[in-house]
Amino acid sequence: MLRVSEIYLSIQGESTYVGLPCVFVRLTGCSLRCSWCDTTHAFYGGTEMTITEVCEQVQSQGTTLVEITGGEPLDQPEAILLVERLCNLDYDVLIETSGAKDIAPLDDRAHVILDVKCPGSKMTEHMHWKNLSEVKLKDEMKFVIADRIDYDWAVSILRYYRLIGRCPVLFSPVFGTLEPHALTEWVLHDHLDVRVQLQLHKYIWDPQAQGV
């Protein structure tokens, strides 16, 4: 059984898949409390569903791309089985995770979007740093950046762990906190081979809207 906050069809708002139709399976619960979290509604509640029931709802949406997200999806061990089942159904499966949980048990066919927690999140101490050696070329690493301190820290992590070239690296400004042009100028000035991304869904719909 899984506790599911919501399942909905939208466009992918982030990652290298941005703009594509995608079914989101948002699982309930998260052991972290990031300062800039925009999905606090997924911390509690939700509906108990079997993996088969979740897959049936995904299949009813008529897409080939699905993202498992949260909360923190890997707080529920059954999420690993859900990812495997969806891969077996020939879905292109993304799993967005906070970086605090071990990603090694995940099906190799899935695409991990690993959030590396910058200091501004207040959750850096919870990082499972071994994950940075587990990512593959098809995966992605995301740094959510609130200010210049976060940016400089992220650059230091890129260099220390030699992440450039390992997989796509995403730099995302905290919506409403860091102006996108500032982050873009820093990246250009430092000639970083990273992708600056915005949360596209927050520009299409109300930033507070759920189910989009």
Residues 152-188 pLDDT 10s = 999 999 999 999 999 999 999 999 999 999 999 999 9
Residues 78-105 pLDDT 10s = 999 999 999 999 999 999 999 999 999 9
Q: Which domain CATH number covers 16?
A: 3.20.20.70
> Is 181 part of any domain?
yes
Nearest to 53 by CA among 4, 105, 95: 4
Residues 125-146 pLDDT 10s = 999 999 999 999 999 999 999 9
> Is 211 part of any domain?
no
Residues 21-72 pLDDT 10s = 999 999 999 999 999 998 899 999 999 999 999 999 999 999 999 999 999 9
**What's residue 116's pLDDT?**
97
> Is 133 part of any domain?
yes
Is residue 204's pLDDT more than 90? no
The domain tally of the chain equals 1
**DSSP state for residue 119 in the 8-state scheme:** G
> Is 167 part of any domain?
yes
Predicted TM-score (pTM) above 0.85:
yes
Is residue 211's pLDDT more than 80? no
Strands (E), the chain: 2-11, 21-27, 47-49, 65-69, 92-97, 111-116, 140-145, 169-173, 195-196
- Contact call for residues 95 and 67 (beta carbons, < 8 A): yes
Q: Tell me the backbone φ, ψ of residue 186, rounded to 5 degrees.
A: -65, -45
Is residue 203's pLDDT more than 90? no
pLDDT band at residue 189, thresholds of 50, 70 and 90? very high
> Is 210 part of any domain?
no
Domain that holds residue 88: 2-204
